[in-house]
Structure 1
Amino acid sequence: MVGRIRDDSIAEVREKARIDDVVSQYVTLRNAGGGSQKGLCPFHDEKSPSFHVTPARNFFHCFGCQEGGDVITFVMKIDGLGFGEAVERLADKYGVQLRREEGDERDNRPRGPSRTRLVEAHREAQEFYAEQLATPEALVARQFLAERGFDQAAAEQFGIGFSPRGGDDLFRHLRAKAFSQEELVTGGLVAVGRSAYDRFRGRLMWPIRDASGDTIGFGARRILDDDRIDAKYLNTSETPIYKKSQVLYGIDLARREIARSSQAVIVEGYTDVMACHLAGVGTAVATCGTAFGEDHSRILRRFLDDHEEFRGEVIFTFDGDAAGQKAALRAFSGDQNFVSQTYVAVEPSGKDPCDLRVADGDAAVRELVARRVPLYRFVLTNVVGKYDLDRADGRIDALREGARLVSSVRDKSKVDAFARELSQMIGVDPDEARAEVRRAAHRPAPAAGGRGQDRRADRSPAAADSAPAAPRRQVPDLRDPRFTLERETLKLVVQHPMAIGRTTADIGANDFTHPTYRAVWELVEQAGGTATGAGDPAWAARLRDAASDPEVSSAVSALGVEPLLTEKEPDAAYVGHHVFRLLELTTMRRIAEVKSRLQRTNPVEDVEAYNRMFGELAALEQHRRALRDRVMGA
């Protein structure tokens, strides 16, 4: 069996894989002060950034969903990997040669091909397809690209290739590279009938990459008349590394420009993405064989830094036909997913960006995007256009349907202006339009499944009674002011073990009154105390990994990224103030306990116990005064 990865190799991975570098492949990060960076959390949907990364400690934490950890934890969670796989992936990317323990320790990796192997197989397949594009057999593929304005340089930029018609060319090539049939079938590159055969044959191939640039699937276009599969496009089927609802073609090339410009352009196909990028619109992406949905919007929002403080633009390109109008309505229904303003760019001639570039050049593509109109206006115009406005009943029906759209606009401060615009389109009095919009806003929500409806309303009282909420452990809020001193002291312990050093020698678990903070301190004691953490870059990660309770684990990651109350590096005075004050509060609680027992003790009937407690109280008071002096000195 494969031996476990050695601790020193894991430590080297943590050291070389900078967490800000890894996280920024998935999230747009901005400086948040105190050596911290923040962005929208990739693990839950939010409109205000609560996801913090602290490069100095190689740690992340979301104060919204409480996910947190080090760079290995992040890769495990974002890509659904086991610990060993995440370490292997980072090691491969950052050039770390992993060493393993000798012996036959159990390999705890999940069954089936690893993500690393599937990605490697796709990388080899992409290189193979790209080489085949230069062969005589691929002449039709090259002609197809040339007719659409794409030369060899463009093909290389986007990694385009050609799949031979033979049937098992890729299979034999990858088997010679030591990939197993199971890996190739699981990855969707090969299918199995009477024998194994290439999934794509005789087609033009586009590699589909994730945000980090790894090829995870392919889009294959029909170009040969005798292709026995009629579908114009074949995409990789769902695999462990490819989920079409969570993939945007071109995101690897567009993500930095999207973050820089706070703009994203959504087009309909691979060639449209290519045309936009080559024309200077470097923010273009496309879905892969599926409609634009909530998962796609969530991906974009992370790179747009799409929250209340930074408003961007999301521009959809649709055809002006019925299908385009339907797509626009679908996009409008998901408009609430964005804080960014949403727009539509439609070419009056009906050309898509690729055809427009061929016909009128790069400038025409840029002009198409520049001529964008608000999504709501495009949808409203199409809705009103369905009715005969020369008839009174047509105007009434147009007003009613248009008012429903206006009343659903997210920014309520704009509703009045939109109502006036609706009145101008239809030719009715603005007050009449406003009244209809108000009526639309107060009408009952759409039937079950409608957007924004509380799903709990669909449940009958009996169903609600039969499914009581699971009891939750009642613990105080970690940010309750009563525990501020405990929190700040532990932040020093987690973030600056060298600074706090042996000052914590007198601290014990009883000095922490919050059960979660007490559990964090117990992890510190189990790890050998703060002295063992000094100079250990994986100190915080080691504490977090040792936690068996998810709440404690989350608390460690939060303590590892939250800034101290001082902007300077903590000095002896700052450390002393927190440590000695924490010990003083513990002493004060003990004094209160002894006083309570003393009051309940009869000094005549139990003289010995009374005198013992009186002496204990005197000693505690003396100790408290000494600690108070040290606090004041600090």
Structure 2
Amino acid sequence: MAGRINDEDVKAVRDAVPIDAVVSEYLQLRNAGGGNLKGLCPFHDEKSPSFQVSPSKGFFHCFGCQEGGDTLTFVMKIDHLSFSEAVERLAAQAGITLRYEEGGYNPAHQRGERIRLVEAHRIAADWYMEQLASSPEADTGRAFLADRGFDQAAAQHFSVGYSPQGWDHLTRFLRGKGFSDKELVLSGLSQEGRRGPIDRFRGRLMWPIRDIGGEVVGFGARKLYESDNGPKYLNTPETAIYKKSHVLYGIDLAKKDIAKSSRAVVVEGYTDVMACHLAGVTTAIATCGTAFGGDHIKILRRLLMDNGSARVIFTFDGDAAGQKAALRAFEDDQKFAAETYIAIAPDGMDPCDLRLAKGDDAVADLAEPRTPLFEFALRHIVGRYDLDTPAGRAAALDEAAPVVARIKNSGAQHEVAVQLAGMLGILDTQFVVKRVAQLARWTRDRGGKGPAPDDRQQRGRGGGGPQQYDSAPDRPSPRGPALNLRNPVFATERELLKLALQRPELVSPAFDAYGLDEFTAPVYAAVRQAVLDAGGAESGVPDSQDYLVRVREAAPDDTVRAMVTELAVEAIMLHRGVKEVDENYAGAQLVTVRRRAVERRIREITGRLTRVASQGDPAELASVQNELWVLQQYDQALREHGAAAL
């Protein structure tokens, strides 16, 4: 077993890798105010961004699904890593050598399985590239690329490689690097042969497939020789690190430009991605041996941020298979907030052939959105019916009207409904318009039960009027009574806890003297206890990030842990007339929470005084009266002198 990673090294890794730099590798972040950033949560589907990152605190929190934590937590959740694997990955990025308390420095065999499989793929990718660049046998591969307009520099830019035709060249090489036969088979780089593992890929051009974080997780391999009886393209099988429906070829190269331009171009093959990027269309990506589907959409939506100007352009071959792929993509159209388009090159050429035949400008022109995907789908539908007969026109309308009703923009929806009437040859245009509008209303309203999750986007963007739902992040209630933040008691307690977590220097040392009973919401009292167990707010003054980690670790369960990250990331709410978070503002929150606790105690003592007076015990009566007088004097001092009286 691997030894326990030294605590100082774990802290060094947390401090060395900014959380916003890590998160932005997976989704687009934009300013959320108060020094925070926001984006679409990668852990659940949502229409408006409720995922927030606080670079200064080193924390993230989703106000929709309650996932939260620090940089290590994010990497663990997003890539399904163990704690040690996440530390090892970030340490490698930061150039930090880890120490293991039970096993010295980080030997290869101690690393987690996923880290090992990723490392094997990284080494294999470099080795394949070296074979393509220098092996005489790879002449066939180099000629294949040259025939398609790709020189050595292009091959290196996309890390294209070559797998030799022998049975076990790569397998033997990776064994020499310390990988076991079991690891090689689990990685998909090798497969079981009659006498042990052999190379899975032999005599093929190799395209490394990287995840959105840039790690090589698989390969796409193109057949080069007639003697190869395998398929034209052979991909890595499903493994612990490679799921073909969860990856997009070229996403590592395209993600920044996709986020910057709010545009993505979806092509069909590896060479098409290369052709597009070399022609200046640096937002091109492709699926890896599977149809474009819902999981691919999730990846793109995090980068596109669902803004109204986002565009996704699908390029498909003009043949029957390409049309089928386009219609399949249209089935998932409503999962996008972006507008979707289709582009088909002249003579049905793909981007790679188009670049060869007509140059880079033709490829760049192809990627400009022209035909909306819904229009393509409509023409395909209408073309299948006999429009010379009333029955044919009616059947075509039945199938086409729901397509028009799904158009996000209400103005465009009306215009396309009029066009549909013309396409069908229906003279009563208003009949078609009303039919579409009726279907659109039904889609939005779902029988009066309110919009379904996929329809909320339509209502906000194109349903004819303002949004009918709250765009603020939903906050599910923790265990215990629901937190109503309109309740000023809960609201002030929340602000004080946020100050204790985010700005401990402003509330220390006074906050550490507050009892659990001064927080009336059970989950807030639990957070207060976690702060106490972590050493108190004053201990967070020297190093706020390490303090927040300790508070999270001290939380008794996931509910309290989620509340800690939520309060650590949520913006501090300034009252009207207050311009900044300072000692005066913090003092006001401290006083308000304390005064409410004192007032509750005064009410309790007053009730007790009434009971004691009726019982006629002079000694107890005097004791209770004295306690009440002391509390009243303290309340008056707080009212007159504020934080100075704490």
Offset at residue 371 of structure 1 (A): 5.0
- Is residue 476 from structure 1 mapped to residue 475 from structure 2 by the alignment? no
Please give the secondary structure, in 1, of the residue aligned with 2:642: helix
CA distance in 1, matches of 2:49, 2:403: 29
Q: Which residue of 2 aligns with 1:293?
A: 293
Change (3 A) 1:130 1:216: same
Correspondence list, 1:321-470, <5 A: 321-429=319-427, 430-437=429-436
Change (3 A) 1:624 1:609: same
CA distance in 2, matches of 1:103, 1:94: 22
Larger deviation: 26-35 or 249-258? Answer: 26-35
Please give the secondary structure, in 1, of the residue aligned with 2:298: helix
CA distance in 2, matches of 1:83, 1:90: 11
Offset at residue 393 of structure 1 (A): 3.1
Unaligned runs of 5+ in 2: 445-450, 455-476
The TM-score normalised by the length of structure 2 is 0.89
Question: Given that residues 113 and 186 in structure 1 are in contact (C-alpha distance below 8 angstroms), is that contact kept between their aligned partners in structure 2?
Answer: no
Please give the secondary structure, in 2, of the residue aligned with 1:370: coil
CA distance in 1, matches of 2:499, 2:527: 13
Amino acid across the alignment from 2:430 = D
Amino acid across the alignment from 2:275 = A
Change (3 A) 1:358 1:431: same
Larger deviation: 481-490 or 267-276? Answer: 481-490
CA distance in 1, matches of 2:120, 2:564: 38
- Is residue 619 from structure 1 mapped to residue 625 from structure 2 by the alignment? no
Amino acid across the alignment from 1:558 = E
Q: Which residue of 2 aligns with 1:463?
A: none
- Is residue 607 from structure 1 mapped to residue 613 from structure 2 by the alignment? no
CA distance in 2, matches of 1:117, 1:499: 46
Please give the secondary structure, in 1, of the residue aligned with 2:56: helix
CA distance in 2, matches of 1:384, 1:87: 56
- Is residue 314 from structure 1 mapped to residue 312 from structure 2 by the alignment? yes
Please give the secondary structure, in 2, of the residue aligned with 1:133: helix
Offset at residue 417 of structure 1 (A): 1.6
Among 495, 498, 502, the alignment partner of 1:488 is 495
> Residues 117-175 of structure 1, C-alpha deviation per residue, up to 9 Å, x if partnerless?
11111110001101111311111111111111111111000000110010100001111
Correspondence list, 1:206-285, <5 A: 206-229=207-230, 231-285=231-285
CA distance in 2, matches of 1:578, 1:501: 13
- Is residue 94 from structure 1 mapped to residue 108 from structure 2 by the alignment? no
CA distance in 2, matches of 1:170, 1:293: 33
The TM-score normalised by the length of structure 1 is 0.91
Offset at residue 285 of structure 1 (A): 0.4
> Residues 77-117 of structure 1, C-alpha deviation per residue, up to 9 Å, x if partnerless?
1011111111111111111111222479xx9xx99952211
Offset at residue 438 of structure 1 (A): 5.1
Change (3 A) 1:409 1:570: closer
Question: Given that residues 19 and 53 in structure 2 are in contact (C-alpha distance below 8 angstroms), is that contact kept between their aligned partners in structure 1?
Answer: yes
Question: Given that residues 306 and 312 in structure 1 are in contact (C-alpha distance below 8 angstroms), is that contact kept between their aligned partners in structure 2?
Answer: yes
Offset at residue 396 of structure 1 (A): 2.5
Offset at residue 501 of structure 1 (A): 2.1
Q: Which residue of 2 aligns with 1:504?
A: 511
CA distance in 1, matches of 2:453, 2:60: 32
Q: Which residue of 1 aligns with 2:206?
A: 205
CA distance in 2, matches of 1:240, 1:523: 36
Change (3 A) 1:278 1:398: same
Q: Which residue of 2 aligns with 1:528?
A: 535
CA distance in 2, matches of 1:100, 1:381: 64
Amino acid across the alignment from 1:210 = D
Question: Given that residues 341 and 369 in structure 2 are in contact (C-alpha distance below 8 angstroms), is that contact kept between their aligned partners in structure 1?
Answer: no
Q: Which residue of 1 aligns with 2:520?
A: 513
Q: Which residue of 2 aligns with 1:12?
A: 12
CA distance in 2, matches of 1:398, 1:349: 28
CA distance in 1, matches of 2:555, 2:443: 48
Amino acid across the alignment from 1:401 = E
Change (3 A) 1:392 1:572: closer
Question: Given that residues 311 and 339 in structure 1 are in contact (C-alpha distance below 8 angstroms), is that contact kept between their aligned partners in structure 2?
Answer: no
Question: Given that residues 581 and 628 in structure 1 are in contact (C-alpha distance below 8 angstroms), is that contact kept between their aligned partners in structure 2?
Answer: no
Among 551, 560, 564, the alignment partner of 1:552 is 560
Amino acid across the alignment from 1:361 = G
Q: Percent identity?
A: 52
Larger deviation: 432-441 or 531-540? Answer: 432-441
Please give the secondary structure, in 2, of the residue aligned with 1:11: helix
Change (3 A) 1:112 1:183: farther
Offset at residue 534 of structure 1 (A): 1.4
Unaligned runs of 5+ in 1: 446-451, 456-470
Offset at residue 253 of structure 1 (A): 0.4
Amino acid across the alignment from 2:558 = P
Larger deviation: 321-330 or 182-191? Answer: 321-330
Change (3 A) 1:290 1:28: same
CA distance in 1, matches of 2:111, 2:615: 78
Change (3 A) 1:413 1:179: same
Question: Given that residues 503 and 576 in structure 1 are in contact (C-alpha distance below 8 angstroms), is that contact kept between their aligned partners in structure 2?
Answer: no
Change (3 A) 1:339 1:371: closer
Question: Given that residues 488 and 564 in structure 1 are in contact (C-alpha distance below 8 angstroms), is that contact kept between their aligned partners in structure 2?
Answer: yes
Amino acid across the alignment from 2:340 = T
Please give the secondary structure, in 2, of the residue aligned with 1:32: strand
Correspondence list, 1:113-128, <5 A: 114-128=113-127
Question: Given that residues 613 and 621 in structure 2 are in contact (C-alpha distance below 8 angstroms), is that contact kept between their aligned partners in structure 1?
Answer: yes
> Residues 428-452 of structure 1, C-alpha deviation per residue, up to 9 Å, x if partnerless?
121232244356568999xxxxxx9
Question: Given that residues 276 and 282 in structure 2 are in contact (C-alpha distance below 8 angstroms), is that contact kept between their aligned partners in structure 1?
Answer: yes
Question: Given that residues 266 and 316 in structure 1 are in contact (C-alpha distance below 8 angstroms), is that contact kept between their aligned partners in structure 2?
Answer: yes
Offset at residue 479 of structure 1 (A): 3.5
Offset at residue 235 of structure 1 (A): 0.6
Pairwise CA RMSD: 2.5
Amino acid across the alignment from 1:243 = K
Change (3 A) 1:94 1:528: same
> Residues 497-532 of structure 1, C-alpha deviation per residue, up to 9 Å, x if partnerless?
223221224211111111111011111111221121
